[in-house]
Amino acid sequence: MENLNKKVWDLSENYDKQLNPNIDAAWSEFDRRRKSLTDTKVAKRSFLLPLSIAAGLALAVGFFFLNRPTGQQFQNLATSENQIENISLSDGSEMWVNENSSISYFSSKEDERTVSLEGEAYFEVAPNKAKPFTVKSGKVEIKVVGTAFNVREIKASGAIEVEVKSGIVEVITGAKKVQLKKGESVIVAAEKLTKKVGNNIGGWRTKEFIFNKQSVADILEEIQRVYDVKVVFRNRDLEKCTFTTNFQDESIDNILEVIATGLGCELKKVNDTSFVLKGGSCS
């Protein structure tokens, strides 16, 4: 047995995982990203650090690239699980930061309207035509003059989703950009912009949902995300059923009860965060 494992271990040497990226394209991408950084000014040090510490430091220092002249209140807020924070900016704009997200912004400088976001947040931006409000999320830049919109980093794919509740929003990635109006949304993945119709924008904040002939799969995806629960279908065919309903800040049990009843399923609660739907059919 041991001997066999050793052989298998040796054979696995053959794992062929080479990436042959287009270096020219990668270099232009790097050059673009590099230029969009504000240079960190760190005092020159002359002592040598052990490599591992130096590497760790190099990665850590990277997070502080938003270094600006002093005198401005630079704030950084990170939310933990189940924590939603509401922030009012001095220009009158408001932001709601969803759980497991982090946001950097200036709290006292009225003409500085740039925030950088990791995770998800909903914005209500005070109008100021002369000074656009900019949200940076990964490779995506969202520019607005006065509007309400939601920005979300989709963890599974790294894509960024922007949904517009009111006003006009400009979404820019690399050389491409798109304008969104009320009710529109876009998914940005690998510098591709895919427009779609958005609904329940910022639903995580208000727990108000309106679903109009939407597939059960889509509805549940959103509900599971907002309520942090897992819902399993025994009958996968149901995912394609469409459903029209709305919820106003209801408990997860109530919501799933409504869906189960609508589909004729039996709802089984495994524990507080996981549910199973059995049987049922699209009717």
Partner 1 sequence: MTNQPNKSEEILELFAKDPDKGMEMMFRTYFGLVSSIVYRVLNDSALAEDISQEVFLSVWKNRETIKITSSLKSYLATAARNKALNYIRDNKVKFAGGDEMPEVPDMTPGVEKEIAGKALKKRVTQLIDLLPERCRHTFVLSRFENLTYKQIAVEMGISEKTVENQISKALAFLRTGLASFLDEK
**Residues in the site for partner 1, rule: CB under 8 A?**
4-5, 7-9, 11-12, 14-21, 23, 26-27, 29-30, 33-34, 37, 39-40, 42, 44-45, 48-52, 54-59, 61-62, 65, 155-156, 158, 189-190
Residue 87 C-beta: closest distance to partner 1, Å: 23
CB atoms within 10 A of CB 231: 22
- DSSP code, position 65: -
Q: Residues 277, 266: contact at Cβ < 8 Å?
A: yes
Task: Name the burial class of residue 224, with classes exposed (0-12), middle (13-18) and buried (19+) by CB atoms within 10 angstroms of its CB.
Answer: middle
Which is nearer to partner 1, 9 or 283 (by Cβ)? 9
Residue 26 C-beta: closest distance to partner 1, Å: 5
The three-state DSSP-derived secondary structure of 14-37 is HCCCCCCCCHHHHHHHHHHHHHCC
Residue 110 C-beta: closest distance to partner 1, Å: 29
**Tokens at 67, concatenated:** 């270094």
CB atoms within 10 A of CB 215: 15
Which is nearer to partner 1, 2 or 111 (by Cβ)? 2
Which is nearer to partner 1, 61 or 210 (by Cβ)? 61
Residue 138 C-beta: closest distance to partner 1, Å: 8
Which is nearer to partner 1, 31 or 272 (by Cβ)? 31
Residue 23 C-beta: closest distance to partner 1, Å: 6
Region class of 259: left (phi > 0), else alpha (psi between -120 and 50), else beta: alpha
Which is nearer to partner 1, 2 or 249 (by Cβ)? 2
